[in-house]
Chains A and B, each alone.
Chain A
Amino acid sequence: MIKINNLSFNYGTLKVLKDITFNLEKGKLCALFGPNGSGKSTLLKCLAGLNKTNDGNILINGEVLNNFNPKELAKIISYVPQEHKPPFPFKVREIVLMGRTPHLGGFFNPSKIDLDFTEYSMNTIGITNIADRYYTELSGGQRQLVLLARSFAQNTPIMLLDEPTSALDFRNQINIWKTLKLLTSKGKTVVVCTHDPNYVSWFCDTVAFIDKGALIGYGNAKEVMDNDILKLLYGDICSIESILDMKVIVPSIS
């Protein structure tokens, strides 16, 4: 589905990503995992076509990513940024409707299908109750849910999410991960940047470990998430325990 070949990316003279190569399979939930400033979000933006790569390339279904125009790409890949506050008070419903942009025709009047899809997306993510509120007045967590619903409304085979659960309460975190899992079971490919090793081992199919801009490990999340790699990333601060057949990462007590 997505092939990343020898990808490098610089911000000016600062090297952020170095020679990254791996493949993402269709219908899998993949985590990009690593410490702060490791380059996860940068990699995600490269996958979304927002950062133009300096070296190497990305292939989507065999076609080079840079050859797509924005509209074509937006029908294949949706991108959920970290939440932020835009300057104008749009309603939640209008924000979610923006997800339909690549599917709209010439004069940008949404059809009934677009409106229905908007409602359906809000329903799936569980934000119908705030549909008529102003996006700018919501809490950070609610805004994340709205962005997620927008990406869902975009209805793309590939979804990229940048820390979608960072501001959510525990219930919503679990709900979102379950929703993502459900989406992959329906054939979507989902890539998520995340900080939380537990969610990676509980929900993700595959995980790519990014440290200092390099890929230091990639594979099945159940198998590759182990004490060695955590030690490599974080040092001696945590360890993996097993509870009810699930891996739980706990702080090391010393």
Chain B
Amino acid sequence: MISDNKTKSTFLITSLIFLILGMVVAVTRGSFNIPILDVFQAIIYKIGIGTVPSLDNEIVVWQIRLPRIFLSVIVGVALATAGTTYQGVFRNPLVEPYLLGVSSAAAFGAAISIVLHLSFLSMQLTSFVFGMIAMIFAYSLATVKKETPLINLILSGIIVSAIFSAGLSYLKMTAGFRELRDLVFWLMGGFYTAKWGDVGLLSVLITISFILLWSLAWKLNVLTMGDQEAQSLGVSVKKVKAVSIVLSTFITSIAIGTVGIIAWVGLVIPHMARMTIGPDHRYLIPASAIMGGLFLVICDTLARTLTFGEIPISILTSVIAAPYLIILVRKNRNLYFG
């Protein structure tokens, strides 16, 4: 684990450079590879300088790959940041939005929007609304006498998740043929539908939420000591908790509402980041965000290049992340099970 703060900053800058490199490599890779210079040409031509690129290159770079890459990065940032925040607020390294039923609920919300033909923006909105409902429901279900033990939280998360999965099944059953097809494709999760519109909207919302969460970093540190201790150290516990939970649920839901459920990122990336840079949220939150973005860019690039078709991205994230988590949990048993 990195211990001094200067090295931590260096690590952050280095990983940011890696993220950008990853993105650049990702643009050049695909069902046909485009040399880096042609990519560059296509991009600067858009800004208004340089010579006209070939039409193919322009379309592939500008309309297909770039929005997709940006979307995967911003979604990775959202999921990893939300996971980190959840783990800090709930004081447990095993919590993530997925476990509290937020993901299933957000998926249910998006499915409603698909089945009822609501406009596209409302897909993120319905995801958020149902994601919040799930989170509040799970949290209040788990709270007994003002305490929220983790085991209750996980159980109520399972319950809430089950309710919304049932709702989703019902929606599938009643959906028409076309809606059903849309729904099934969307549920598999993936970035192949990426458009600049989504990228713009998500970038703005997620960046703002990220900055707000980052600004709470020190208070999150104190919060991991427990509610009462945090209060005695001058933190307005309820306010900080509410703000950080709502913001993380918000970014998770809108990310899921746009690209479908992508498993594991919110759980494993914060872990990796904490292993590398330590639990101080001032460094952990940005580290997690960058690693989340990089992880999804890599997975998505693999998803579209490994085979002739496209592998659903959740398969890749699971295949990579699940074994990592198994090793982690077995190595640090007492960290998770007291």
**Partner-B contacts on A (CB < 8 A):** 12, 45, 48-50, 69-71, 73-75, 77-79, 81, 84, 86-91, 94-95, 98-99, 101-102, 104, 107-109, 132, 154
Contact = CB atoms under 8 A, between A and B. Distances in A.
17 contacts: A49-B232, A50-B228, A69-B236, A71-B236, A81-B229, A84-B226, A86-B91, A86-B225, A87-B335, A89-B1, A95-B225, A98-B222, A101-B235, A102-B234, A107-B215, A132-B3, A154-B233
Interface in B267-297: 274, 278-280, 282
Contacts of B145: 12
B279 A89 contact: yes
Interface string B111-150: 0000000000000000000000000000000000100000
Interface of B: 1, 3, 88, 91-93, 145, 215, 217-219, 221-222, 224-226, 228-229, 231-237, 274, 278-280, 282, 335
B217 A77 contact: no
Contact of B274 (A48, A77, A88, A95): A88
B272 to A, nearest CB: 15
B310 to A, nearest CB: 38
A98 B218 CA distance: 8
A88 B93 CA distance: 8
A88 B218 contact: no
Contacts of A50: 228, 231-232
Contacts of B221: 90, 94, 98
A88 B92 CA distance: 8
Contacts of A12: 145
Contacts of B222: 98, 101
Among B91, B234, B279, the one with the most A-chain Cβ atoms within 10 Å of its Cβ is B234
B226 A45 contact: no
A98 B231 contact: no
Contacts of A73: 232, 234
